[in-house]
Amino acid sequence: MNQAILFLMIFVLPLATQWSASPYLSADRICEETFVATKSIESLSYQMRKAERIGDEMQVQVSQIKLNRNPYCVYMKQISPKKGLEVLFTENEKDRGALVSPNGFPWITLKLDPQGSTMLKNQHHTVKDAGFDLVIGILEHLFEKYRPELQEMLTLESNIEYQGHLCHRITFTNQYFHYVDYAVGPGENMLTIGRKRNVSSYLILARNKNFDSYFDVDEGDQLSIPSDYSPKMELLIDQKRLIPLSIKVYDEHGLFEHYEYSDVEIDPPFTDNDFSKENTAYGF
C-alpha cells in the first residue's frame, strides 16, 4: 500500500472523525444553558443602564441594584438622571408597598404601589421585574412556542468582546410577529394581559392610543396587542458565566428597549440590612 495512503488512514481519518463528532455549539443550546444558569442565581448586585422608548424618545436611566430572589427583595439607587433617588421593595412586607426616597421634593419617603400609575410613569417595567427572570421567562415561552422553527429564527456569533468579557451574540428574529385583536376580560388590565400573554404591557399601551393608562380599560374593550414580545431580540451572553450582559429589544419601528448589565456580582453575601429601610447608608 502506498505510504501516503497508509498515513492518511492511520492518522488523518481518525482525527477527522473525532472533529466531526464534536458537539456543535448551537444558539438554542447556549440559550437553554443560560436559562439554567440564571435560574440558579440566588442574589445579584449590578449596575444597569436602561434605555426605553417612551413616546418617540429613548429615555436613559442608570442605577445600582441589589436583588435577592427568595424572598424577592430589591434595592435601587439611581445614578442618573435623578441622582440619589432610592427604591426599596420587599415581597414579604405585609402591604407590599415600595418605599421611594426621591432625594428631592417632596423631601419625604413615599410608600407607593409597585404596579401603580405613579411608579409606572415613563417605565416599561415594574420594580418587580429586576434581574434576569423576566427576559428568561419570555425567551423560554418563545422557545416552546416556536420549537420546530428555532433553527431559522436564531443566529449566533461568538467571541464578541463586551465590557471586557467574551460573549455570544444571539439574535432571535421572529418573522411571525404581528398584532391581534383582543377583548378585555373581567378584571383584566394591560398589565395582567401582558403577563398572561408574555408580551410587553407598555407596547400594548403605546399601540392603543385611545387609552390613557394600563388601567383605563373595561371588560369588553377591544385592544390591538402583539402576538409575541417583539419581532427581534439581540442578546450578548457572557460565555463563562452564561448571563446576559446586554439585551436589545426591537419593535416594528426600531429599538424599543436596551438593558445593559455591568459590574455583575453573582450571589453576593447580602444580609437583612441590605434590604432594610433602617440601613443607615440609605435615605429612607
Residue 14: is its pLDDT beyond 90? Answer: no
* Domains of the chain, first to last: 27-177+228-275 (2.50.20.10)
Convert the pLDDT of each residue in 54-102 to its tens digit.
999 999 999 999 999 999 999 999 999 999 999 999 987 666 799 999 9
| Per-residue confidence band for 20, with pLDDT thresholds at 50, 70 and 90 | very low
Residue 10: is its pLDDT beyond 70? Answer: no
Residue 32: is its pLDDT beyond 50? Answer: yes
Convert the pLDDT of each residue in 182-196 to its tens digit.
999 999 999 999 999
User: pLDDT > 90: what percent of the chain?
Assistant: 85
Convert the pLDDT of each residue in 76-89 to its tens digit.
999 999 999 999 99
123/7: higher pLDDT: 123
Convert the pLDDT of each residue in 225-265 to its tens digit.
999 999 999 999 999 999 999 999 999 999 999 999 999 99
| Per-residue confidence band for 12, with pLDDT thresholds at 50, 70 and 90 | very low
Q: How far apart are CA 125 and CA 68, in angstroms?
A: 18
